[in-house]
Amino acid sequence: MDSRPRRELQSAALRFLRFAPEHAALAQEIAHAAAERAAIRHRNTDYEGALNGVAPGEWDDEFLHRHVKAAAHDAVDEFLDRHRSPSQG
C-alpha cells in the first residue's frame, strides 16, 4: 500500500472515529495502526488472492467477514509475530 492509499485510509478512519478534539492524538494513533495493518494485509498475506478466488454468487457479506477477513486478520497477526523481536523479559 503506497502512501496515497495509506493517507486515504487514515483519513477515512479519522472520519469514522469522529473523536473529540481532546482525543485527536489517540485517533491519529488508531488511524495509523489501521493503515499499517492494511498495508501488511495487502503486501504480505493472500488476502487479495482469497478475495479474487471467490466466484460471484458464492459469497455474501457474512462470508467475507467470517472467512476471508478473519483469515486475513489472523495472517497479519502471524506475520507480525514472525517478524517481531522476542520480548524482553
Per-10-residue mean pLDDT, the chain, length 89? 84 94 95 92 89 76 78 93 78
Q: Are the beta carbons of 79 and 44 closer than 8 angstroms?
A: yes
Q: What is the pLDDT of residue 81?
A: 92
Residue linked to cell 498475506: 45
- The gap from C-alpha 78 to its chain's centroid, in whole angstroms, comes to 13
Q: What is the pLDDT of residue 6?
A: 87
Q: Where are the domains of the chain?
A: 1-44, 46-89
Q: Determine the Cα–Cα distance for residues 6 and 2; give it in Å rounded to an integer.
A: 6
Whole-structure pTM over 0.85, yes or no?
A: no
Give the residue from 8, 86, 80, 4 showing the smallest Cα distance to 41.
Answer: 80
